[in-house]
Structure 1
Amino acid sequence: MTDFTTLELDERDDRVVVTLDRPAQRNAITAEMIAELHTVCALLEARPKLLLLTGRGDHFAGGADIRQLRDRTRNDALSGINRTLFDRIGRLPLPTVAAVNGFALGGGAELAYACDIRIATTTTKFGNPEPGLGIMAAAGATYRLPRLVGTSVAKQVLLGGHILDADTALRTGLVIDVVEPGEHLDAAHRLLDRIGRSSALALRLTKTIVDSPATHPFADDIAQAVLFETEDKHTRMSSFLEKKK
């Protein structure tokens, strides 16, 4: 884990903080960064923890590395290089938070969309300008963004080239909060502190069911049945009742 060249990783007791670390290139996503993020996913799948994802410097991620993207072929597209990673991030067991400062464009936006919750700063801009480069946003934006902001707004971004500023992102529900630049990491850690006080199993089951397709009332019942039998549930509820006395 110390051999990363495009990321900085800070593993703590209850969370892992991953910083995209190519600030001179606006943290453009390269094949090497994709590989290193797969390593992070393997870590979190083996030992589930909360994830905080952010970018070094003034921007989250300005997109994929265009020089590498230009050389990709049909077979590269069919292998879903970026999409496979972002889907894997979306499936991580415990909640993920993206602290987004500045640009989150193209693949950078799709990486942020793959996280469960996003925090923005007043400088944040989300966008998917891929059609202007002769391609499409094919790493999750076509199915994640409509779920996050609705089909109409998603088409404005994906087809109309519309950039979502921080206020619009907040209004449409894409982000949970907007803070001043430099305050986004503290805000994200406060959110994770709150999330981390909840039952890890309850969080994991809730996330799995929310992300499942279609309706799932029986899955809710089964997950709740599992939680009802845990010692953690009994301890938490007993503590709550004691406090009320």
Structure 2
Amino acid sequence: MASSNKPSPTFKPLYQQVQELITVRIIEGVWKPGEMLPSEFQLADLLGVSQGTVRKALNALTEDNVLFRRQGVGTFVSEHTLQKMLFHFFHFKSDNGDVAAELPNAKLIATRLIQPSDNIRQILELENDDQVIEIHRVRFVQDASSIRELIYLPARYFADLEQVEKLPHSLYNYYQQQFNITIHKATDSIKAVLSTEQDKDILNVALGQPLLEVARTAKSLDGRIVEYRLSRANTENLHYLVELN
């Protein structure tokens, strides 16, 4: 008899299935950012598995920064506090080595609902009739306008955000609190560009001056691409820093 070339079905270990179940409940808002989960015993009873399986799932989620633990207290859903935002998602530092205590101030220039370009539609994996919210703002580092940001969000995930007149400096915390969307992973692509007329006016630089452009795609806990961000920075007194562990 000829052997079959069909791949055999694969099955995930039980703790990974529990890990996914817990993640889904976080996405659905059953357990909110900053909220404590039930105990290992309670989760084991709720999900019909052993405490050992639950503990393994919680360990994996903690290593992936979906959860965090407080010794002697319990396990909590991670949240985007300003301090965590600064070190995990904001990588621009002043050349003198100073590290700000919080995210640099951001001034909103405009927010609007638009039809995306083909490039943005492809990056955000949108359908043909999907609209995006465009946020245009400038960040100030040491009181100087240093970073111009264009942020694109799928409108279907951020209903009516374009109508908000004032947005906080920390958008990832805002996404989490207002829309139950947790930015879990982000990929930055960096290249040198020349300033445009808009850059010139907003960043107070010469036309054609070199800038550092960081293109970011950000994903939520369930793997959806929920943000595309272009940051164009005047790096005369700044540098981009990444620490590898």
Shorter-chain TM-score bucket reads under 0.3
Structure in which a larger fraction of residues adopt helix: 1
- Tell me the TM-score normalized by structure 1: 0.23
Greater Rg by CA: 2
- Tell me the TM-score normalized by structure 2: 0.23
